[in-house]
């Protein structure tokens, strides 16, 4: 009886100790679970806060870059093909800001009350700080606006990837032409003056046409042709027709007497081939074209012959002598604002 009671007491004591130990383990496990959950919540909150701060910094940087964009549109003008309803935008874009800019769209508006329509063109132009892009002949931008007319006034603007707009107004170029009536109705794009060499062994075919080499430094004693980009800015909005008597004339200074040399206007095919005959080139109001001067002879009275640059190193003045008709009346204009260096 005594032994049985003793065993029973021991069993009760062990059971009580086991229950206490289980409670300790359960409490410890619960504390660990709570700590794990708390740590997870803390880490999740920390990561969310980090993501928020990164997004905020990125947004602030994007806004700063957007405000620092500074692209300007220079030498803007329009021309219209009334047969195809195509409006061509000629412009020089310059990134004058401190950040790179991507231009993604061009919008053009015909502001005439009888034909107020929009058109746009998707672009992918990237301009680093200081870059200049010439969107003129031979690579202008063209959009289609039904009912567009050369007598209409247009407005356009470029859109950047960051949402900024770059306005372009045609009236700036027209005002310049009206203020300088002594210059005449045709305007020369000074920045795109170029020359062409001939392809070796390929007849009278210009090399790298129509891009050429944009420069005012020309190799001496070399057969070349010249390319000039002109725009019809006639205040009366007349069509100008350029005939074969038009030429590019240079005066070559020497120690005793000045010598003349000239290049008459020619027609050039898309592959750079110079035509042996000449057909009148017409330009409607607002139209911009690349004209080429290459022949030693006037093609109205003689055959084509290449012309060479001077043999000596020298600086020469250039005179662009245009002749033809403006509307139904005779037209003549001298554009004297270029000089070349032969070396």
Tens-digit pLDDT string for the chain (343 aa): 566 556 555 555 555 555 555 666 667 767 777 777 777 777 788 788 788 778 778 777 777 778 888 888 876 778 788 778 888 888 888 888 888 999 999 999 988 888 889 899 999 999 998 888 878 656 678 899 998 887 788 889 999 998 899 888 554 334 344 333 446 788 888 888 999 999 998 789 999 999 999 999 999 999 999 999 988 877 677 899 999 999 999 998 876 556 889 999 999 999 999 999 999 999 987 788 999 999 999 999 999 999 999 988 999 999 999 999 998 899 999 988 789 999 9
Check residue 73 and give its pLDDT: 85
Question: Alpha-carbon distance 318 to 311, whole Å?
Answer: 17
Question: Alpha-carbon distance 97 to 312, whole Å?
Answer: 42
Residue from 80, 47, 204, 210 nearest 139 by CA: 210
Question: Alpha-carbon distance 292 to 282, whole Å?
Answer: 14
**Backbone angle region of 332, left / alpha / beta, with phi > 0 → left and psi within -120 to 50 → alpha:** beta
Q: How many CA atoms lie within 13 A of 188 on its CB side?
A: 21
Q: What is the pTM of this model?
A: 0.53
Question: Alpha-carbon distance 303 to 274, whole Å?
Answer: 12
DSSP-derived secondary structure letter, 204 = S
**Backbone angle region of 69, left / alpha / beta, with phi > 0 → left and psi within -120 to 50 → alpha:** beta
- Report all structural domains of the chain as residue ranges with CATH numbers, in order of start: 74-169 (2.60.40.10), 182-342 (2.60.40)
Question: Alpha-carbon distance 175 to 235, whole Å?
Answer: 9
Bridge partners of 295, per DSSP, are 264, 306
Check residue 315 and give its pLDDT: 92
State pLDDT tens for residues 199-232: 998 789 999 999 999 999 999 999 999 999 988 8
- Tokens read off for 43: 């880490």
Please, are residues 184 and 195 in contact by the beta-carbon 8 Å criterion?
no
Q: What residues contact residue 153 under an 8 Å CB cut-off, 6+ apart?
A: 111, 112, 170, 171
Q: What residues contact residue 95 under an 8 Å CB cut-off, 6+ apart?
A: 70, 71, 101, 127, 128, 129, 130, 131, 132
Question: Alpha-carbon distance 238 to 148, whole Å?
Answer: 17
Check residue 226 and give its pLDDT: 97
Please state whether the peptide bond connecting residue 199 to the residue before it is cis, i.e. omega within 30 degrees of 0: no
Check residue 22 and give its pLDDT: 63
Please, are residues 290 and 258 in contact by the beta-carbon 8 Å criterion?
no
Please, are residues 77 and 87 in contact by the beta-carbon 8 Å criterion?
no
């Amino acid at each position: 009886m005594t032994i049985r009671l003793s065993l029973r007491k021991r069993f009760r004591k062990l059971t009580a100790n086991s229950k206490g130990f289980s409670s300790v383990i359960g409490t410890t496990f619960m504390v660990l679970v709570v700590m794990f959950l708390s740590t997870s919540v803390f880490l999740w909150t920390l990561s969310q806060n980090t993501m928020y701060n990164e997004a905020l910094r990125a947004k602030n940087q994007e806004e700063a870059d957007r405000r620092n964009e500074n692209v300007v549109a220079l030498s803007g003008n329009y021309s219209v093909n009334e047969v195809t309803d195509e409006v061509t935008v000629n412009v020089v874009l310059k990134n004058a800001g401190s950040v790179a800019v991507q231009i993604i769209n061009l919008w053009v508006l015909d502001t005439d009350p009888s034909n107020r329509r929009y058109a746009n063109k998707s672009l992918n132009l990237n301009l680093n700080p200081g870059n200049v892009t010439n969107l003129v002949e031979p690579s202008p931008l063209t959009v289609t606006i039904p009912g567009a007319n050369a007598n209409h006034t247009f407005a356009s603007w470029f859109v950047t990837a960051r949402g900024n707009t770059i306005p372009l107004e045609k009236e700036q170029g027209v005002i310049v032409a009206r203020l300088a009536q002594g210059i005449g109705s045709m305007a020369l794009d000074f920045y795109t003056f170029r020359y062409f060499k001939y392809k070796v062994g390929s007849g009278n075919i210009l090399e790298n046409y129509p891009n050429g080499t944009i420069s005012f430094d020309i190799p001496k004693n070399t057969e070349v042709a010249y390319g000039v980009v002109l725009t019809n800015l006639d205040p009366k909005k007349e069509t100008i027709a350029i005939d074969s008597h038009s030429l590019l004339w240079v005066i070559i200074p020497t120690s005793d007497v000045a010598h003349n040399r000239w290049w008459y206007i020619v027609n050039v095919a898309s592959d750079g081939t110079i035509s042996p005959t000449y057909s009148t080139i017409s330009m409607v109001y607002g139209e911009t074209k690349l004209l080429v001067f290459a022949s030693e002879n006037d093609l109205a009275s003689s055959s084509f012959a290449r012309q060479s640059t001077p043999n000596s190193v020298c600086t020469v003045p250039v005179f662009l002598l245009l002749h033809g008709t403006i509307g139904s009346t005779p037209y003549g204009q001298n554009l004297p604002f270029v000089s070349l260096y032969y070396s």
